Amino acid sequence: MTSHYLEIYRSQKAFYDSGATRSASFRKEQLEKLWQLIKKNEKQFEEALYADLHKHPQEVFITEFGPAYEEIKVQIKNFRKWMKPRRVPTPIFLQPSVSRIYPEPVGNTLIITPWNYPLILTMRPLAGAIAAGNTVLIKQSEYSANTSTLIETLINNEFPSQYIHAIPGIGSEVLPPILEQCHFGRVFFTGSTIVGSKVMEMAAKQLSPVSLELGGKSPCIIDNTANLTLAAKRIVWGKLLNCGQSCVAPDYLLVHEDVKEKLLQLTISEIEKNYGKDVQHNPDYGRIIHEGRYRKLLSYLSEGKIVYGGNTNDEDRFIAPTIMEDLAPGANLMKEEIFGPILPVFTYKNNGEVLSKIAENPYPLSVYVFSNDRKMQDLILQQVPFGGGCINETIYHLANHHMPFSGVGTSGMGGHLGKHSFDLFTHYKGVVKKANLPEPFFRFPPFTDQKAKLWRRIVDRKWF
């Protein structure tokens, strides 16, 4: 089976080398085809996502269809402008010359996607790769079996395999030979830090550049100046979206001790307002993706004091929204990304304690600050390295295609969305075009003090 995928890779390489993917008309046609592929099959996607994650159709539109359509629309609207060569200034010592940057596709690409948002986390990078003029191999997670199989079927029926092809199978079996034997102009991976490091190690054997969207412990800080009612509303929404299975979900709360009890009351009230007291039978509430994740989350529940929730159902892989305090020393709950509807709460007295707590799990993918104190906001922005985030909001930074979505350090590298996606799948080729005029005598050997002085005079010109 692996030899079959290697053959597809070779066919994609030949297709790219033919120049077929480069024209603007071809790119536009494929992006429109991708849009229609989603549009025509919305009902099937809703059914598959419900089967995998118990997602309500409205949540599917908010978190899957809407962002995918937006990304494709942005690429269609702008890629012609982005793909044009751009003239840039030329230093005086290179005159008379003209300098230009030529955007060029990176070639053959590989997109590896996770199970938690299987549609959007496939379609957004795929749109960027198409707009930039590349071929694409896609490997989706086997855990979101219904949605992944649907996407594989639709992609492979709609696009020729020498251009775009989705690979079925177990990732740990299929990916190693492909990564280790094939060079890609870009490997785009979204998933856990542990798997991401393995992908990067395998890709290094072919010197394939890698973009990693990973995870981490994303803190949510609430100080004593925050609008607590709004904070509770937005924290609950961000935490329980997709049943907590979001890489950018608020992972734990750091609450100023003066407002902790009030915030917890408002948070519990908001949970019950959204999902009622019988959360298990609420159609708006999701489920844990598979048994392994469910068992991992169950193990966390014994690591501290449950102050709200904690109800579970093994047959349904249901875990109620749960708030925890007084975690045991060394609890795994605070060493690993939770990826579920469990919310640990810590209090602090001063800002130094906030920075110390975040430093226990450095380089979070996201940080959220609920505060009306500009100094507090600036402290977090300036002192904490993180991928991206929000002030007085959660998760919404992912919705702005004008900003790159990226991790930093152990939470990832290589931002994407909008122009940043196009850039990620593009090589910018710099070219100097020199005029056919006589050369300055001091350029060439034999070197002399007089020539050196002339070079210094040119280079040392004051720029202010």
Residues of the chain with CATH 3.40.309.10: 219-404
Residues of the chain with CATH 3.40.605.10: 2-214+414-427
DSSP at 138: E
Q: What is the pLDDT of residue 404?
A: 94
Q: Catalytic residue at 390?
A: no
Asked if pLDDT for residue 335 goes beyond 50, the answer is yes
* 348-384 per-position pLDDT tens digit: 999 999 999 999 999 999 999 999 999 999 999 999 9
Task: Tell me the average pLDDT across 395-424.
Answer: 95
Asked if pLDDT for residue 4 goes beyond 60, the answer is yes
Cβ–Cβ under 8 Å, residues 37 and 154: yes
Q: What is the pLDDT of residue 462?
A: 53
Closest to 50 (Cα-Cα) out of 155, 144, 129: 144
CA distance 294 to 310: 13
Taking 3-state DSSP, the helix, strand and coil percentages for the chain, each rounded to the nearest 5, stand at: 45, 20, 35
Beta strands in 257-359 (DSSP E): 305-308, 312-313, 318-319, 322-325, 342-348
Q: Which structure tokens are listed for 288?
A: 């844990």
CA distance 24 to 79: 8
* 157-186 per-position pLDDT tens digit: 999 999 999 999 999 999 999 999 999 999
pLDDT, greater one: 85 or 449: 85
Task: Tell me the average pLDDT across 326-340.
Answer: 93
Radius of gyration of the chain (CA): 25
* 214-252 per-position pLDDT tens digit: 988 999 999 999 999 999 999 999 999 999 999 999 999
Task: Tell me the average pLDDT across 132-137.
Answer: 98
CATH class of domain segment(s) 219-404 = alpha beta
Q: What is the pLDDT of residue 1?
A: 52
Closest to 50 (Cα-Cα) out of 283, 291, 295: 283
DSSP at 295: H
Task: Tell me the average pLDDT across 311-319.
Answer: 97
Asked if pLDDT for residue 464 goes beyond 50, the answer is no
Closest to 405 (Cα-Cα) out of 394, 420, 416: 416
Residue showing tokens 């993917």: 21
CA distance 62 to 56: 10
Phi/psi at 313 (5° precision): -145, 115
Catalytic residue among 46, 59, 213, 337: 213
Task: Tell me the average pLDDT across 389-416.
Answer: 95
In this structure, the strands spanning 366-370 and 388-391 are parallel
How far from 91 is each of 97, 196, 384, 447, CA to CA, in Å? 9, 41, 38, 22
Q: What is the pLDDT of residue 406?
A: 92
Contacts of 287-292 with C-beta under 8 Å, sequence gap 24+, read 287/53, 287/54, 287/243, 287/316, 287/317, 287/318, 288/243, 288/245, 288/317, 288/318, 288/319, 288/340, 289/52, 289/53, 289/115, 289/116, 289/143, 289/144, 289/245, 289/317, 290/143, 290/317, 291/317
pTM of the entire predicted model: 0.95
Of the CA atoms within 13 Å of residue 213, those in its CB half-sphere come to: 27
Q: Which structure tokens are listed for 84?
A: 């044009």
Task: Tell me the average pLDDT across 140-165.
Answer: 97
Using pLDDT thresholds of 50, 70 and 90, give the confidence band for residue 30.
very high
Task: Tell me the average pLDDT across 51-56.
Answer: 96
Q: What mean pLDDT value characterizes the chain? A: 95
Strand ranges of the sheet holding 86-88, from the earlier edge strand across to the other edge:
86-88, 97-105, 426-434
Beta partners for 270?
none
Task: Tell me the average pLDDT across 16-44.
Answer: 98
Name the 3-class secondary structure at 175. Answer: helix
Catalytic residue among 247, 270, 337, 390: 247
The correct answer on CATH 3.40.605.10 for the domain covering 2-214+414-427 is yes
Cβ–Cβ under 8 Å, residues 220 and 394: yes
Cβ of 368: how many Cβ atoms within 10 Å?
Answer: 31
Cβ–Cβ under 8 Å, residues 178 and 10: no
Q: Catalytic residue at 261?
A: no
Beta partners for 166?
138
